[in-house]
Structure 1
Amino acid sequence: MKNKTHVYVLLLSVGLLCNLGCDYIKKNPESLSVAYDSILSPELLNSERIKMKYGNYAIKILSDDSKTRISNLYSSQGDKTITRTFAVVNYSEVIDPTFLEAHKKIVKGGSIGRVFKNNGWEIEKESIFFGEVSPSKDLSKVYALMGNIPNSELAMYMYGFHIEKDKKRFQYATIIEIYHPDYLTLHDLKSIYKDADRYLERSPFIEQTIEGIIQITRELKP
């Protein structure tokens, strides 16, 4: 009889906890974790995806000149920052007057997708390559930016960044992004971009590009 009473009390307690938990969730919807599928929506900007997954987002420009920008897209945990995307941007040779003001904001440290979106431009990414960068001691500075992770295989995406407004279309840049393994893997990229399998070939040009990225990381200032 004591055992039956004990079981009844236990079930009653569990039911009460479940009711309290459901009531808390209804009152505090932000307590729910973000759905995996929503994070992988192709409609999201990279900055929006980082903020959605980690709760915050910021960008730091590591290097910038008239041709190339190297940036660190990161989230913060307390006083610690963790790079979620290491990005190399090669600007197009001609900056059309139509988007010159937006370009000036980007040069000053603005997030590329966010600046153009806020200025009414439609954004399109034309995929060039999806793949992975093999673990290498040459990437030690990137691993350090990513929270001192061990030598790891990192997903990579290379694409042409195009903008369109008022029936005018331009290629603003070619962008190469390398992702923290906790943020995006190659599997995740394939979920976001359904045609990714068409762009997996590691041509001599891609190999040269990857080597160029590695060279850039070697030259990063501490």
Structure 2
Amino acid sequence: MNNKQHLHILFLLIGLLYGLHSCKDKKPHSKVSLTSHDSILSPQLLNSERIKMTFGSYGIQVLNNSAQLRVSDLYSLHDDKKITRTFAVVRYPEQIDSSYLKEHTKILEGQSIGRVFKQGQWNIEKKSLFFGEILASSDYGDIYKLMGDIVPSKLAIYTYGFHITKGHENHQYAIISEVYHPDYLRLNDLKTMYQDADKYLDESVVSNVLKQVRREMTSNYYPLRTSD
């Protein structure tokens, strides 16, 4: 066999190996990307689970807690710094049913609402009330600081009834409003997660709830973060 034939065979082998290597690389990457996207935007996830999946860590700090209201900072860690991913305002029911009193006590102690009820074997359902955006304002300076000192930005908000079911027990536990960091969830992401979101764009339906949310967003919560 002459040198030309040797070279020809060598080039064929190199081309074959390169082709196999390329195919091997491409398939897993596309699959991982698709799975990751679908998983993170699944409406079945708890917000705490989604934050951990997206940013690699999750924590919660209760900023305000009373018999009627809870304000929470759901954060992830970046370079050992807490970055708020969700600013959550929770309105409790006027009366607490004895069937979930144990879970409610844990929540008052600062635990995550979704996790507590999930661990208590309750079925959880979010009944949408409103999808929208909080317009950028200098009034929300503390919230932007909690979110990593971002510039004033539009922030997506989702308000829903938090319902729990176990056996014959069925209750609306709270009305929850979640305001999201713009690098976490935007309004279009929420519309992808919840296919019927366009049915819940009327702000007037939850006007009193949103007034309370905006009022809490102007509260001076940032020092609480820096003092812990």
TM-score (norm 2): 0.83
The AA in structure 2 aligned to 1:137 is S
Letter in 2 for 1:130: F
Q: 1:138·1:214 contact (CA, 8 Å) conserved in 2?
A: no
Question: C-alpha distance in 2, partners of 1:122/1:43?
Answer: 11
- SS of aligned partner of 1:129: strand
Alignment-derived partner of residue 94 in structure 1: 95
Letter in 2 for 1:211: K
Tell me the residue number matched to 1:210: 210
Find the counterpart in structure 2 of residue 163 from structure 1: 164
2: CA distance between counterparts of 1:17 and 1:78?
36
Contact preservation (8 Å) 1:61, 1:69:
yes
Q: Report the CA distance between 1:220 and its aligned residue.
A: 2.7
Q: How many residues align?
A: 211
Matched, 1:116 2:117: yes
Distance 2:166 2:105 in 1: 18
Q: What is the CA deviation profile of residues 96-152 of structure 1, one whole-angstrom value per residue up to 9, with x for unaligned ones?
A: 111111111111111000110011000011111100010011111111111111110
Do the aligned residues in 1 keep the contact of 2:129 with 2:206 (CA within 8 Å)?
A: no
Structure 2 residue identity aligned to 1:214: R
Larger Rg: 2
- State the distance in 2 between where 1:220 and 1:169 align: 36
Shift of 1:206: 3.4
Instruction: Specify every segment of 5 or more residues in structure 1 that has no aligned partner in the other structure, as ranges.
Output: 1-7, 27-31
> Structure 1 vs Structure 2: percent identity of aligned residues?
50
Q: Map 1:132-171; keep pairs closer than 5 Å.
A: 132-171=133-172
Corresponding position of 2:175 = 174
**How many angstroms does 1:11 deviate by?**
7.7
Counterpart Cα distance in 1 of 2:15 and 2:57: 40
Amino acid at match of 2:55: Y
Q: Are 1:55 and 2:56 an aligned pair?
A: yes
Aligned to 1:186: 187
Deviation at 1:12, TM superposition (A): 9.7
Query: Alpha-carbon deviations, 1:45-72, whole Å to 9, x = none?
Result: 1111111111111111001011100000
Aligned partners of 1:174, 1:218: CA distance in 2, in Å? 20
Shift of residue 219, structure 1, vs aligned partner: 2.0
Q: Is the 8 A contact 1:163 1:172 kept in 2?
A: yes
Instruction: Tell me whether 1:42 sits opposite 2:43 in the alignment.
Output: yes
Q: 2:217, 2:185 → 1: CA distance?
A: 20
In the other structure, the counterpart of 1:29 is none
The 8 Å contact of residues 133 and 210 in structure 1, kept in 2 or not, is answered as no
Is the 2:43–2:194 Cα contact (8 Å) retained in structure 1? yes
Superposition RMSD in Å: 2.7
Q: How has the CA–CA distance of structure 1 residues 17 and 160 changed in structure 2, closer, same or farther, with 3 Å as cutoff?
A: same
Q: Shift of residue 167 of structure 1?
A: 1.9
SS in 1 for 2:124: strand
Offset at residue 217 of structure 1 (A): 2.0
* Distance of 1:104 and 1:81 partners within structure 2: 26
Within a 5 Å distance, the mapping from 1:65-104 to structure 2 comes to 65-104=66-105
1:174-201: CA deviation from partner (whole Å, max 9, x where unpaired): 1011001111111111111111110001
- The code of the aligned residue for 2:219 comes to E
C-alpha spacing 1:78/1:14, structure 2 compared with 1 (3 Å): farther
TM-score (norm 1): 0.85
Give the counterpart letter for 2:62 in structure 1: I
